[in-house]
Copies of this chain bind each other. A is one copy, B any other.
């Protein structure tokens, strides 16, 4: 969550930013984005499906086709929500405010912390930690020994990063995230006691990753747990030890990825999906809410259900499922009829 800035841009600048066709006064100044209903002077809004004559109070609009009825400057683009997001981010951009280290910050030996950072009150940093320019760390976070955090990364309050975790550039970690806790690995002896398998591996978080509040990525026992560039997770997402989450995957709330499982690029998993350990999921796999993935999945698969089956098959089977009592009645009826035939 960024604070608002006071900077304004001409609508021409915004049009160039997203390659839009601009209709109207190019020098109009825009300072903010607002929902269509709430937008007013100096504010740009967007319309995914412009309707007929409607009251427009926004100063300008992002639209999919030029609407000559709309009495304000228009940016015509192919993908309205995409252009709106790019423009909104641009309007919210501001120079990084380097507050340095709050006096209460505790820091171990031999750290390399760039002076252009903001490390808030109560943060505890281990030894030999490297923090790059324009990193912001929220209050009461704890960063372990031998970690590295690359440029422009934002870590919100109360995050815990264990030892030897590497975090890429432009990453966002929301509050309560835990990186590098021991994975869940035990070996059971003859009488049923569990011996812990040591977890001495690492966690590597790529660039442009965003992890939702209270999510957790476990440390590998040996080797590395990876969350690759561009992955975004919602809140409460669990990534097990030695897992490998491919570039640009989207994992919605409460998804759990088992140990040593891997996801290819650009997978999209809806909320509460679970993936068993040691499963290999291909690229662009989509899983419906609450899917349980037990087996390897080919590139482009669309799955649902527990255990996961092709999504279309699941949809059809679920429709029949709801009619099962009726189906059972029909079978009893058929059996009765057959018996009658037998008698005759």
Contacts and interface: CB of A to CB of B under 8 A. Distances in A.
Interface of A: 1-4, 33-35, 38, 79, 81-82, 84-86, 88-89, 92, 102, 104, 106, 120-122, 124, 138-140, 142, 145, 156-158, 160, 162-164, 172, 174-176, 178, 180-182, 184, 186-189, 192-200, 208, 210, 212-214, 216, 218-219, 222-223, 230, 232-236, 238, 240, 248, 250, 252-254, 256, 258, 265-266, 270-272, 274, 276, 289-290, 292, 294, 306-307, 309, 313-314, 316-325, 327-328, 330-331, 334-335, 337-338, 341
11 contacts: A4-B200, A88-B197, A140-B158, A175-B178, A176-B216, A184-B233, A194-B230, A235-B238, A254-B256, A271-B276, A289-B292
B142 A124 contact: no
A1 B200 contact: yes
A106 B311 CA distance: 52
B89 A196 contact: yes
Contact of A195 (B86, B156, B182, B195): B86
Contact of A79 (B34, B162, B187, B319): B187
Contacts of A180: 1
Nearest to A163: B1
Contacts of A157: 124, 142, 160
A213 B222 contact: no
Contacts of A274: 254, 271-272, 289-290
Nearest to A121: B106
A198 B89 CA distance: 6
A176 to B, nearest CB: 5
Contacts of A230: 193-194
Given A92-B198, A106-B121, 13 more contacts: A1-B163, A81-B197, A138-B160, A160-B175, A175-B181, A176-B214, A178-B214, A181-B213, A182-B210, A194-B230, A216-B235, A258-B271, A317-B324
A216 B211 CA distance: 13
